[in-house]
């Protein structure tokens, strides 16, 4: 599990975390991601990075479904603490070949206790 804790701008953690996820998935690793704290801003729709001097890499999240990365866990409390809701997040989906290629949501909103349980189940944790 890749745990994303940083906002998309101001550091390289977010963009490098996404690059590592895509590389791992390209090598057929079982990849899931968690977004906590300011990391929830990485999935916010309509990001504008013009004033930060950083490239807006958020469109690359749309590629995750193509790499079979379809378990993106977003901590509900982190959203609420930042004044965000699920509607503020990008509509990321994946196509389920076992269900006649039906589009399904990749983002799963979970509470802190559920996320804690998911983290406990992981063999490897990488923090970004």
For residues 72 and 64, the answer to whether their CB atoms sit within 8 Å is yes
Which parts of the chain have pLDDT scores under 70?
none
Buried b (16+ CB within 10 A) or exposed e, 76-103: bebbeeeebeeeebbebbbeeeeeeeee
Number of domains present in the structure of the chain: 1
Between CA 40 and CA 63 the distance in angstroms is 18
Q: Lay out the sheet containing 72-75: strands in order across.
A: 107-110, 72-75, 33-35, 2-4, 126-127
Q: What is the pLDDT of residues 73-92, one digit of tens each?
A: 999 999 999 999 999 999 99
Q: What is the CATH number of the domain that holds 118?
A: 3.40.1260.10
> pTM (2 decimals)?
0.94
Give the helix/strand (H/E) hosting 33.
strand 33-35
pLDDT score for 3: 98
- Domain membership of residue 115 as a residue range: 2-127
């Amino acid at each position: 599990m890749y745990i994303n804790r940083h906002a998309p701008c101001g550091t390289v953690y977010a963009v490098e975390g996404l690059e590592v996820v895509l590389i791992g998935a390209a090598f057929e690793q079982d990849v899931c991601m968690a977004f906590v704290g300011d990391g929830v801003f990485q999935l916010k729709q309509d990001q504008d990075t013009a004033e930060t001097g950083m490239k807006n890499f958020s469109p690359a999240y749309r590629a995750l479904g193509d790499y079979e990365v379809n378990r993106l866990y977003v901590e509900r409390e982190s959203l609420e603490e930042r004044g965000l809701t699920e509607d503020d997040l990008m509509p990321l989906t994946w196509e389920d070949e076992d269900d006649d290629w039906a589009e399904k949501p990749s983002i799963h909103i979970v509470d802190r206790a559920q996320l804690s349980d998911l983290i406990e189940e992981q063999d490897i944790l990488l923090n970004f």
